[in-house]
């Protein structure tokens, strides 16, 4: 792999990319993230190991002086909920969470085989390779539900148009999705949930593990990823549409979040179509 390659679909994305920075941070954002080490080593992560991150979880790691290569698979909550419903594992008010998030997995040949098969399909790009990727993602979702995910009951959890959310935060989260292109103050976001800014910030942090503004920044980056891959809009226009009027500031924030500049990300995503 000489340059990153990215496949974006409505319910999942697959990224094949190098990791050259000594310290990197990866976030699951609003979905689920699988990280698989393809080559070299990362401190604390054995060769060919995988990591599973639940929504809103973040991991920081160091690749030292070596150039490592990763496969990143992002799954939307909707994809797992639909798979769980087909298997009759999910019902309203249930939350799906990895049992051992952030713990290196080295003894699961089924998971490793699925991830490495995706990597080969991207490399070889043989006839129908995208169909094979879709099939592998569907199979992996079923396997994760059977072997790595707990279904936790909660009267506060529901599936909304923006994914699995806590009912107490749903209006505020939907408000952020609808208004991420402009500056949003904490009080304005909290008002959408009919809470004071103080109580909303505490509740949001307790439930999601992140702050409202960190969540908003993640949401903006995810929307930017989609627009870079799916539209011909200029980078400066995409930045403006997700709340960044300065292209240099947008590029800096995007690179910090994804490890790639918007231009490199677009080339990697469109080059895989």
pLDDT tens string, the chain, 273 residues long: the values are 567 889 999 899 999 887 755 556 787 777 899 999 887 666 666 677 899 998 878 887 766 666 678 899 999 888 888 888 788 776 655 678 899 998 889 889 999 999 999 999 998 889 999 999 999 999 999 999 999 998 766 666 666 666 667 788 889 999 998 998 888 999 999 999 999 999 999 999 888 778 999 889 888 998 999 999 999 999 999 999 999 989 999 999 998 888 789 999 999 987 655
Task: Give CA angle at 38 (10, 267), nearest 5°.
Answer: 45
Q: What element of type H or E holds 176?
A: helix 167-178
Q: How far apart are alpha carbons 190 and 199 in whole angstroms?
A: 8
CB atoms within 10 A of CB 211: 13
Task: Give CA angle at 62 (215, 121), nearest 5°.
Answer: 80
Residue 154: DSSP 8-state? -
What's this model's pTM, rounded to 2 decimal places? 0.79
Cα torsion 97, 100, 102, 108 to 10°: value is -110
**Structural domains of the chain, ranges and CATH numbers in brackets:** 5-153 (2.60.120.280), 168-270 (1.10.10.60)
pLDDT for 170: 87
Tokens found for residue 33 = 């993230």
Q: How far apart are alpha carbons 71 and 17 in whole angstroms?
A: 7
pLDDT for 98: 92
Burial letters 118-147, b for 16+ CB under 10 A, else e: bbebbeeeeeebeebbeebbbebbebbbee
The string of DSSP codes covering 184-198 is --HHHHHHHTT--HH
Tokens found for residue 231 = 């539209």
Under DSSP, is residue 128 helix (H, G, I), strand (E, B) or coil? Answer: coil
Q: How far apart are alpha carbons 86 and 155 in whole angstroms?
A: 21
pLDDT for 43: 62
């Amino acid at each position: 792999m000489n340059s990153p390659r990215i496949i974006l679909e409505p319910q999942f994305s697959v990224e094949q990319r190098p990791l050259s920075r000594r310290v990197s941070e990866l976030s699951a954002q609003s979905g689920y993230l699988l990280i698989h080490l393809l080559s070299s080593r990362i401190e604390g992560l054995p060769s060919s190991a995988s990591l599973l991150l639940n929504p809103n979880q973040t991991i920081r790691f160091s690749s030292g002086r070596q150039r490592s290569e990763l496969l990143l698979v992002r799954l939307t909550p909707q994809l797992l909920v639909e798979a769980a419903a087909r298997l009759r594992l999910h019902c309203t008010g249930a939350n799906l969470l990895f049992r051992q998030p952030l713990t290196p997995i080295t003894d699961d040949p089924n998971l490793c085989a699925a991830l490495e098969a995706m990597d080969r399909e991207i490399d070889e790009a043989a006839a129908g390779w995208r169909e094979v990727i879709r099939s592998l993602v569907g199979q992996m979702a079923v396997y994760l539900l059977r072997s790595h995910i707990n279904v936790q009951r909660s009267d506060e959890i529901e599936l909304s148009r923006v994914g699995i959310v806590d009912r107490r935060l749903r209006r505020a989260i939907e408000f952020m999705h609808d208004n991420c292109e402009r500056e949003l103050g904490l009080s304005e976001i909290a008002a959408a949930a009919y809470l004071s800014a103080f109580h909303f910030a505490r509740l949001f942090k307790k439930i999601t593990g992140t702050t409202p503004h960190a969540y908003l920044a993640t949401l903006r980056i995810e929307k930017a990823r989609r627009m870079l891959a799916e539209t011909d809009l200029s980078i400066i226009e995409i930045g403006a549409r997700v709340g960044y009027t300065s292209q240099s500031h947008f590029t800096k924030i995007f690179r910090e979040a994804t490890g790639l500049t918007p231009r490199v990300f677009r080339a990697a995503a469109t080059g895989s179509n």
